[in-house]
């Protein structure tokens, strides 16, 4: 469905996207994971054909979005990072007017708008003003709006950033249903749990380049141990203790507020730390996540 | 809507001209415009109508009581209010068109994010530009009808030719609007946008709006005659009393050329304006 080869986007001397290549198959759920400023949104905008690339080859369903923008976007649904609902129109009109932009007939849109309001659980808000909606509702409306043309490909740029946990889970549930219906999803996120929940395959992006590619599970297997033991000794002591823990796990990552011990058995590692006479203030054993993969690959955290 | 993809999800390329920027669907943008007007407060819409009316009352009636009668086109003596009324209509057409095609576009682009949403649909930049210019002209049409009505009520209209003030006003608006968007495509900051106001103000004041061109020394007259607003003012003034000369065609031709060049210029700048 999507084929990108050596995509580059420069703003002046700064390369926001610096040679990214990937393929997305029909029905696949594909993620771009990386910190803010990694070039994820720019890549999305190039796929939508609303930012002109500096160089590289890009085809969406066989067409270049820069040369056939309107035609490509007829089959695309886009959820941008910031909601850009039409504040001058009411909730239901937002869906209908957006559908008109695709040249869809009004009779179809009236029915489609009601379906989408139900999908987004916004039926009671149909006649409300957009700015009276909560953040979660606006997000759901933006997603509903992106589906008005029954897209083959749905681009979601940071779909749940800024939402509370409950709203996120409602959203993920809705996206999961779309995936079941065979819609190809392209998601950017800096939340590892989101990438793990939604994506079959991800690329880890940093500073405009691809650092790694694979399924979430494979990436974790490849770049991290099975479990992670997090221990805190207090801000001053963390760094001093690192050397004494060297043989406890496969690898240790010292963050300003805590130490991460990569190990296949967190509980055993913790026992060994205690046996050596060290007593962490707090400790936590968890499964390794994409956050650890990112830390391993870049030496930095995803969320600053 | 375009043709569906084949089984492998491959689309056949649309090879019609402008297919990268134009989807032949400007009417959807216009439809939105009317939808917004319908749900809007009417006060917002009529506010633009009052600007020239207030000028007419203060300058035409107020200042006019000091000035008395002046020499209109073709040498006919007319009241000062009747002298400046058509000029004020031309100014209002210019200001409305410039506002809609510069500040309004800039704001919807960078803050309202309206175009960002539109551009992610199968609309192209040219659809949006055409739709927005149409809406600007539609507002201009309403104001022109309103103002011409006010002129009638105030007894400033003496000939049926004056009805042509309405289409002429739309033509003047089109001339300015067609350039405005292209100019906005170069603007990155508020400070740069302020330049537009800085340029428009002298054009408004010095285009023989409030007094005849003959007060200027000849070299300045040539400069003023190059301004688009001067042609608008002269044309409207001639129409208002039905006194046409061969120069009438020059004024109309000036706007025809301005619209053609402006539309071509804006079309060229669309990618810079919308697809950064």
Q: What CATH number corresponds to the domain at position A240?
A: 3.30.70.980
First-to-final CA distance of chain B = 25
Instruction: Let me know if residue B3 belongs to a domain.
Output: no
Nearest of B92, B267, B275, B83 to residue B176 by alpha carbon:
B92
Give yes or no: residues A124 and A245 share one domain: no
Give yes or no: residues A143 and A29 share one domain: yes
Give yes or no: residues A200 and A240 share one domain: no
- Residue B94 CA to residue A290 CA, distance in Å, equals 58
Give yes or no: residues A18 and A78 share one domain: yes
Q: Is A51 on the interface with B (CB under 8 A)?
A: yes
Q: Is A108 on the interface with B (CB under 8 A)?
A: no
CB contact under 8 A, A82 and B118: no
Give yes or no: residues A170 and A256 share one domain: no
pLDDT at B1: 46
Instruction: Let me know if residue A302 belongs to a domain.
Output: no
- Residue A94 CA to residue A89 CA, distance in Å, equals 6
Instruction: Let me know if residue B70 belongs to a domain.
Output: yes
Instruction: Note down the domain range covering B40.
Output: 26-274
Nearest of B150, B55, B199, B6 to residue A26 by alpha carbon:
B6
Instruction: Provide the token pair at A10.
Output: 């420069």
Give yes or no: residues A106 and A247 share one domain: no
Instruction: Let me know if residue B42 belongs to a domain.
Output: yes
Give yes or no: residues A41 and A181 share one domain: yes
Locate the chain A residue with the closest alpha carbon to B39.
A89
Instruction: Let me know if residue A97 belongs to a domain.
Output: yes
- Residues in A touching B124 (Cβ below 8 Å): 69-70
Which CATH number belongs to the domain containing residue A152 in this structure?
3.40.50.300
Instruction: Let me know if residue A181 belongs to a domain.
Output: yes
CB contact under 8 A, A84 and B114: yes
Give yes or no: residues A242 and A212 share one domain: no
Instruction: Let me know if residue B17 belongs to a domain.
Output: no
Give yes or no: residues A64 and A27 share one domain: yes
Give yes or no: residues A271 and A125 share one domain: no
Instruction: Provide the token pair at B56.
Output: 């007419």
Segment A98-139, tens digit of pLDDT: 999 999 999 999 999 999 999 888 999 999 999 999 988 999
Cα distance from B272 to chain A (closest Cα, Å)? 10
Cα distance from B129 to chain A (closest Cα, Å)? 13
Instruction: Let me know if residue B146 belongs to a domain.
Output: yes
Instruction: Let me know if residue A300 belongs to a domain.
Output: no
Single residue among A188, A220, A252 that ends a domain in this structure: A220
CB contact under 8 A, B36 and A88: yes
Instruction: Provide the token pair at A22.
Output: 């990937």
Single residue among A220, A247, A268 that ends a domain in this structure: A220
Give yes or no: residues A155 and A260 share one domain: no
What beta strand segments (E) does chain B contain? 69-71, 77-79
Cα distance from A139 to chain B (closest Cα, Å)? 14
Task: State the burial class of residue A175 (Cβ atoms within 10 Å of its Cβ: 0-12, 13-18, 19+).
Answer: buried
Distance of CA B122 to the CA centre of its chain: 28
Instruction: Let me know if residue B5 belongs to a domain.
Output: no
Containing B208, the helix (H) or strand (E) segment is: none
Instruction: Note down the domain range covering A38.
Output: 2-220
Local confidence band at A19 (pLDDT 50, 70, 90 cut-offs): very high
Single residue among A170, A203, A220 that ends a domain in this structure: A220
- How many domains does the structure of chain B reveal? 1
pLDDT at B2: 54
Give yes or no: residues A209 and A247 share one domain: no
Instruction: Let me know if residue B72 belongs to a domain.
Output: yes
Cα distance from B268 to chain A (closest Cα, Å)? 15
Per-residue pLDDT of chain B (276 residues; tens, 9 = 90+): 456 666 666 777 777 777 778 888 899 999 999 998 887 767 766 777 888 899 999 998 899 999 888 988 888 899 999 999 999 999 999 998 999 899 988 888 888 788 888 989 999 888 998 999 999 899 889 889 999 999 999 999 989 999 999 999 999 999 999 999 889 888 888 899 899 989 999 999 999 999 999 999 999 999 999 999 999 999 999 999 999 999 999 999 999 999 999 988 988 888 777 776
pLDDT at A101: 95
More confident residue, A208 or B19: A208
Instruction: Provide the token pair at A137.
Output: 């509702």
> For the whole model, what pTM was predicted?
0.83
């Amino acid at each position: 469905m999507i084929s990108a080869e050596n995509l580059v986007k420069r703003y002046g001397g700064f390369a926001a996207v610096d040679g990214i290549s990937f393929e997305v198959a029909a029905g696949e759920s594909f993620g771009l994971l990386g910190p803010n400023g990694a070039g994820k949104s720019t890549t999305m905008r190039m796929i939508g054909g609303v930012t002109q690339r500096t160089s590289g080859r890009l085809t969406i369903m066989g067409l270049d979005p820069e040369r056939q923008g309107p035609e490509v976007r007829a089959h695309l649904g886009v959820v941008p990072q910031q909601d850009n609902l039409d504040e001058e129109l009411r909730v239901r009109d937002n869906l209908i007017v957006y559908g008109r932009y695709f040249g869809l007939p009004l009779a179809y849109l009236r029915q489609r708008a009601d379906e989408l309001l139900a999908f987004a659980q916004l039926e009671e808000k149909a006649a409300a003003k957009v700015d009276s909606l909560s953040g979660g509702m606006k997000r759901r409306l933006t997603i509903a709006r992106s589906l008005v043309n029954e897209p083959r490909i749905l681009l979601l740029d940071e779909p749940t950033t800024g939402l509370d946990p409950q709203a996120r889970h409602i959203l993920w549930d809705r996206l999961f249903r779309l995936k079941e219906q065979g819609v190809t999803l392209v998601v950017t996120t800096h939340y590892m749990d989101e990438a793990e929940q939604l994506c079959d395959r991800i690329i880890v992006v940093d500073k405009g380049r691809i650092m790694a590619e694979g399924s979430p599970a494979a990436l974790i297997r490849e770049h991290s141990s099975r479990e992670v033991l997090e221990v805190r000794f207090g801000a001053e002591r963390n760094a001093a203790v690192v050397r004494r823990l060297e043989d406890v796990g496969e690898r240790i990552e010292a963050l300003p507020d805590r130490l991460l011990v990569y190990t296949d058995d967190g509980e055993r590692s913790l026992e060994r730390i205690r046996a050596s006479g060290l007593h962490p203030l707090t400790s936590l054993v968890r499964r390794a996540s994409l956050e650890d993969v990112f830390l391993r690959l870049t030496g930095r955290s995803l969320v600053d | 809507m375009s043709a569906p993809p084949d089984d492998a999800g491959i689309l056949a390329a649309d090879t019609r001209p402008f297919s990268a920027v134009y989807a032949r669907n400007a009417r959807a943008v216009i439809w939105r415009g009317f939808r917004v007007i319908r749900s809007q407060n009417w006060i917002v819409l009529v506010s633009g109508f009052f600007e020239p009316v207030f000028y007419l009352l203060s300058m035409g009636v107020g200042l006019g009581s000091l000035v008395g009668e002046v020499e209109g086109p073709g040498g006919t003596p007319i009241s000062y209010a009747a002298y400046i009324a058509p000029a004020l209509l031309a100014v209002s057409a210019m200001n409305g068109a410039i506002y809609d095609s510069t500040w309004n576009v800039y704001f919807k682009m960078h803050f309202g994010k309206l175009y960002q949403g539109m551009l992610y649909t199968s609309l192209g930049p040219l659809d949006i530009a055409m739709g927005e210019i149409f809406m600007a002209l539609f507002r201009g049409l309403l104001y022109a009808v309103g103002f011409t009505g006010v002129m009638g009520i105030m007894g400033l209209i003496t000939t049926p030719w004056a009805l042509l003030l309405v289409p002429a006003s739309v033509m003047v608006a089109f001339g300015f609007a067609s350039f405005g968007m292209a100019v906005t495509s170069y603007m990155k900051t508020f400070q740069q946008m302020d330049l537009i106001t800085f340029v428009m103000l002298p054009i408004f004041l010095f285009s023989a709006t409030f007094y005849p061109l003959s007060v200027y020394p000849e070299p300045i007259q040539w400069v003023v005659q190059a301004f688009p607003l001067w042609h608008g003012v002269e044309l409207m003034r001639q129409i208002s009393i039905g006194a046409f000369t061969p120069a009438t065609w020059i004024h109309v031709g000036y706007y025809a050329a301005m619209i053609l060049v402006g539309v071509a210029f804006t079309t060229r700048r669309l990618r810079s304006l919308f697809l950064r």
